[in-house]
Amino acid sequence: MPQIETLVNPLAPPVYNGFNNTSPLGYVDVDFTYPYDVTLTANQFLRDQSISTTNDADFEWRALVIAYSTGAFNVRFADSQGYYLSNGMIVSANIIGDAASPYPIFPGILIPAGGRIGIDIQDTSGSTNVIQLLARGVKRYRIDV
Amino acid sequence: MRLIEQPYITPPGYRDFPFAYVYDATSLTDGTTYMDIQIPTQGDSDFILRHIAGVSNCVDTFANGGRWNFKGHARQYAIGNQSTGIQSYKNWPVVPEKLFKYNESLWIDLYTVKRAVNACGGTPIPYSYIAFFGVKRFTDNQGYPTRATNYPYKEKLQRYEYTLTIDWAHFATGTTPAPPHTFVQVMDNFDFELLRMTVAQPGQTGTLTSQDFAMTLYDANNHQLSNNPIPQGYWNAGKPTPSTQPPYQGIMPVPSLVYPAGSSIRFDITSLLCSTSIPQTYNISFEGLWRLPC
């Protein structure tokens, strides 16, 4: 074994050891999360909702977290061009996760600055449903090279 | 662009040291919302933030209005909801890592604070701490080697099992906390690379899940790995049951640390126990690798 300093803890997950910078040339990626809060009445179906992204940077959407819900629901997402990411509504139980093990969006979906993530969402619990979704990813800032 | 899992590379000319900035929320008032809480860094290095543990011990449930937010180095929000915050978690990974330059501060918002406590009659013992885990990044001429071994070696699995008895309560007198007690585990034979720590009580089938104590760990040169004690659950890598993960997905130190032969693992223990609960005995397992000369 060479006499060098180890740089990582092999028992720790990659995020704790650190990821090398994978920002595209001319950009810098910064951790960011867009939340979506909604309260649905029993069986309410809301179409064409959206998470609006800010104007300062593109957003690469990499993961989804159902942060909170008081009941089951169905949901469907679309990218900034209105292109649906599924052919039907997704049952919330199929995309559960938490902040440390979210539902992955792979490959990441690029939402341009000032764009939107489209959402159709429907309560299936039959009661008032308080929901918070988190779109996790990175803001992609342009930098001088 | 894919996040390729290849070993992390510290930028040339720098040296990383595992560290956690711990915000002590025990003095906050339950039911109150606090905006722009500043957590200054120590001003000796850059800090790279990689995950945040314990927010859920500081705010109320989502249904009761408990939320949080945090900000980057320029006080720009890292979460899009600047007015109401988001659900709190035991562990919040930060991907990619966030750089806080020398002398910059960490900033958080806490909505509807509710401090987690250990019951103790009329004076509950709060363990509402938020730990910002990451690394201090020193320049090579400023830092110090913490992982080098100066002889050829091969690695062998090794664990040091430490029996810890806490026979003092959190409060020494009245509501005055007792000072931490210092313990050491001597490195008796070879250099030891510490990879993780677990805690259990004798006779229990799973790891310790209650926050009975907090720890400040030191490296071989007596440098603290956190600015405040860290509740045991935040770094305890043990599982409560075979099929469940460590509650806070804790592991420490990252990157690993080497304790040379003849040195010792020093750790200060802060009791979070009620006077009616003492004494308690725990087994702390320091897991890692011996570096055997070859």
Per-residue pLDDT tens digits for B72-109: 888 889 887 778 899 999 999 999 999 999 999 999 99
Contact across the interface for A9 and B79, Cβ inside 8 Å: no
Both structure tokens of A6: 């180890």
- Is the pTM for the entire model greater than 0.90? yes
Using only C-alpha atoms, chain B has a radius of gyration, in whole angstroms, of 20
Contact across the interface for B98 and A31, Cβ inside 8 Å: yes
Q: ipTM of this predicted complex?
A: 0.89
Q: What is the pLDDT of residue B210?
A: 95
Contact across the interface for B92 and A32, Cβ inside 8 Å: no
Q: Is the predicted pLDDT of residue A3 greater than 60, yes or no?
A: no
Q: Fill in the DSSP letter of residue B236.
A: B
Q: For B113-130, what is the mean pLDDT?
A: 94
CA A55 to each of CA A115, A136, B2: distance values in angstroms, whole numbers, following the listed order = 8, 17, 24
CB of A130 within 8 A of CB of A39? yes
Residue of chain B with shortest Cα separation from A18: B8
Per-residue pLDDT tens digits for A98-117: 888 899 999 999 999 999 99
| β-bridge mates for residue B34, sequence order | B110
Q: Is the predicted pLDDT of residue B15 greater than 70, yes or no?
A: yes
Q: What is the pLDDT of residue B142?
A: 81
The verdict on A35 touching B (C-beta cutoff 8 Å) is yes
CB of B50 within 8 A of CB of B56? no
Per CB-CB distance under 8 Å, the chain B contacts of A7 are 7-10, 16, 147, 255
Per CB-CB distance under 8 Å, the chain A contacts of B78 are 30-33
The verdict on A50 touching B (C-beta cutoff 8 Å) is no
Q: What is the pLDDT of residue A2?
A: 45
Of B8 and A79, the one with more pLDDT: A79
Contact across the interface for A5 and B6, Cβ inside 8 Å: no
The neighbour count for residue B241, using CB atoms within 10 Å, is: 9
Per-residue pLDDT tens digits for B138-193: 988 887 777 788 889 999 999 999 999 999 999 988 889 999 999 999 999 999 99
Query: How many A-B residue pairs are in contact by the CB < 8 A criterion?
Result: 151
- Residue B248, CA atoms < 13 Å, CB-side half-sphere: 30
What confidence category does residue B113 fall into, taking pLDDT thresholds of 50, 70 and 90?
very high
Here the contacts of B139-146 (C-beta below 8 Å, separation 24 or greater) are B139/B13, B139/B14, B139/B15, B140/B13, B140/B14, B140/B15, B142/B44, B142/B45, B143/B14, B143/B15, B143/B17, B143/B45, B144/B15, B144/B221, B144/B223, B145/A5, B145/B15, B146/A5, B146/B17, B146/B219, B146/B220, B146/B221, B146/B257, B146/B258
Report how far residue B267's alpha carbon sits from residue B247's, in angstroms, rounded to the nearest whole number.
22
The neighbour count for residue B185, using CB atoms within 10 Å, is: 17
CB within 8 Å of chain B, chain A residues 88-107: 98-100, 107
Q: For B235-250, what is the mean pLDDT?
A: 92
DSSP string, A54-77: PTTSEEEEEEEEEEEESS-EEEEE
Probe site for chain A from B77, B236, B245, B256 (most A CB atoms < 10 A): B256
CB within 8 Å of chain B, chain A residues 100-139: 100, 107-108, 130, 132, 134, 136, 138
Per CB-CB distance under 8 Å, the chain A contacts of B294 are 1
| β-bridge mates for residue A123, sequence order | A73
Of B245 and B3, the one with more pLDDT: B245
By percentage, how much of chain B surpasses pLDDT 90? 79
Report how far residue A66's alpha carbon sits from residue A69's, in angstroms, rounded to the nearest whole number.
7
The verdict on A55 touching B (C-beta cutoff 8 Å) is no
Per-residue pLDDT tens digits for B16-35: 999 999 999 999 999 999 99
CB of B284 within 8 A of CB of B162? yes
CA B289 to each of CA B6, B148, B194, B272: distance values in angstroms, whole numbers, following the listed order = 22, 13, 7, 31
Contact across the interface for A13 and B62, Cβ inside 8 Å: no
**Backbone angles phi and psi of A7, in degrees to 5:** -105, -10
**Backbone angles phi and psi of A16, in degrees to 5:** -75, -35
The neighbour count for residue B42, using CB atoms within 10 Å, is: 13
Closest CA to B267 of B166, B171, B146: B166
Average pLDDT, chain B: 93
Probe site for chain A from B3, B67, B68, B219 (most A CB atoms < 10 A): B3
Per CB-CB distance under 8 Å, the chain B contacts of A110 are none
Q: What is the pLDDT of residue A145?
A: 57
CB of B256 within 8 A of CB of B7? no
Both structure tokens of A138: 């990175």
Q: What is the pLDDT of residue B5?
A: 61
* B178 Cβ contact partners less than 8 Å away, ≥ 6 residues apart: B168, B169, B170, B171, B172, B271
Per CB-CB distance under 8 Å, the chain B contacts of A14 are 3, 5, 8
Contact across the interface for A35 and B81, Cβ inside 8 Å: yes
Q: What residue ranges define each of the domains in chain B, with the CATH number in brackets?
A: 14-139 (2.60.120), 153-293 (2.60.120)
Whose tokens are 């397992």? That residue is B285
Contact across the interface for B97 and A11, Cβ inside 8 Å: no
Q: Is the predicted pLDDT of residue B4 greater than 60, yes or no?
A: no
Report how far residue B255's alpha carbon sits from residue A39's, in angstroms, rounded to the nearest whole number.
43
- Tell me the three state secondary structure of residue B48: strand
CB of B134 within 8 A of CB of B20? yes
Contact across the interface for B63 and A3, Cβ inside 8 Å: no
Mark out the alpha helices in chain B (DSSP H runs): 232-235
Q: For B132-141, what is the mean pLDDT?
A: 92
Contact across the interface for A8 and B2, Cβ inside 8 Å: no
Contact across the interface for A1 and B237, Cβ inside 8 Å: no
- Side by side, which strands form the sheet with B153-166? B153-166, B280-293, B191-200, B257-259
CB within 8 Å of chain B, chain A residues 64-93: 67-68, 70
What confidence category does residue A78 fall into, taking pLDDT thresholds of 50, 70 and 90?
very high
Contact across the interface for A3 and B91, Cβ inside 8 Å: no
Using CB atoms, pick whichever of B5, B97, B193 lies closest to residue A6. B193
